[in-house]
Structure 1
């Protein structure tokens, strides 16, 4: 044990965390003065980086006026935060329920869908993560669900598109999208469309591989939902508020969901907050019907103040558009060069400032460098790669057989280039990975 703190997703006797002393901008450091470029932005959280002065000032100023108030009262800062979110949301999403994080947002979106439709089932992808509360984890498809899976709760899983590792024997991205849609359509038929309340998707899959769907796929899911009276829920906890170079990843394909969950980038995680955006139709259902749910900290004033400040910075500094440019002009070519130099790199993919570097033992067979469900927190091969990155002063997110890059949207071009160069050096340094040798 490391002390009185119980660490999530960990065997407590194996925990040996870096003790962080501080952070600023795109960097954080430990008590010994070791510094790392934060290429995962603390789980994709810090869109505006560490200690952004506008957010710190907003929280401080709000604390001086009003620290908290029950959600049954109206308060100016909560109204202002909701309006700011709606202004950048896809047209038709006009009402916000605030939660304290992404998992709660998913729980409430699913509850709304079930109440509105009167149906029990929700379909979600196998390669997905939707949170660690009971309902959200049941909907999660990845191995984090396994230890507590009760095979109940109305969750049904499907295979989403993944061109590099196609489950549908597709020969190209377009074919992958078409076959993934046909698979989903058949599954809806098998389950009975009249029993399905919602289809829950990450428009761009986050921690399960930064999987960008082929053009037309999300629009096809939208049509399928409309055909059967199924609600479409977009989980934008990781992808919202500029991460993918648009305000929301759904915007990349012009798809408007019935419900949208958010957290993380809405205020860079400075105060815990999340929420659900409701369409007019869903909101209207509760105009004269009591909604069965609520949270003590819904729309917490300190969180709402940080939202208002964060969205103002994102807009005034054009950080959403900048993320698209950095992804296209800096990250994409740099990672393509990385793949050319290192046979261990099987695939690179992403959009905006959300990217994955997938590592393999053999490019021909595409055998992953680490298994899909590795024992422990991280397979030894990936632990070695991450350790090498840290020695180079960069800290990406390691997940499965991949390195994920989710840097702050405020990162400079020079920092971004240097960070990828650090990963390049790390891949050369690791025994058993160097030059693709095993």
Structure 2
């Protein structure tokens, strides 16, 4: 019995049964470690040794949460809400609800796409933008599962396809790991190889928008949104808030650290007076509390990944595949993609999956006489599979953090399951097509 499969299945089943994700990761890691031949002590050691890898991410998210709540107190979110509400108001007999829905969906989609390539801030925009407009979405009866799929598309498709921002990092990892495995490639070939798999994500997005979640969905409304039409905002605070956002973005890009970026933004709000000193401690704690769930999940996910890597069963899982393929290219491609899905679902990071699978997939794919472009598509798709849909992925944790601030959006059933269905299944199909035709 393979330890990787056992660990991931246990984690996913417990999560689907609404067991807390952190506990699911811990129990899954224990099950995988014991099945993989590790003693209980060694399993716990491997888990705790891996926890440190998530500490930096957890602190980043905590500071970003504090920065987000601080921003929300300055008036910019209210201005945004008021602008959207103007679209909703009836002009004569003309109901602009459809226009408002379209505006929200397109705006969030573009922001999510920009967060990966053009303005590489990843999920930092979600706690800034989503909570202030939740009551507007409630009024419009927008299904939050649709917003989750829209956000997750923007957080995954751009880095898979475009070699900019986080996409450059992803493509560089693919190129470097394939070279380390004995196959030198040109990074310029990666976007061409990933074009067909990305088309699968686009198909999934269109299905979610126009079929799966087009019907209205009722949510509890704690406030009358019309009250927010009258907005009293200090223009000086708005100006300094914009400066703080620019400072945070600039610092993050220059230092390549979300921690420094959030710190720069918070410091700007402090110095300018937009964040009142007497309120600062309460505001920052509130924001950190909002993002604490993501931080704990990312820490636990690193411990989980450490355990399944320590067992050595990732290599044996892939190695066992070659013994049953018998030269069948189509079957080989599908099984390798499925292995990529299982590993990434467990680890929660496509970036971390590439080094694990490339060393074994490259020689295996060469043995089956796949073309270079086909091997790139295989590695890239196998790594990306599972990022959408994994309970431990920041591509699902980010949307949940924004959509669940009022407790009406479940991480597993409203984010992970919808994104798994609409993205992993099409990506699996289109990725297999890419490998077979390239």
Q: Between Structure 1 and Structure 2, which shows a larger proportion of helix residues?
A: 2
* TM-score normalised by structure 1 residue count: 0.27
Higher strand share: 1
Normalised by the length of structure 2, the TM-score is 0.27
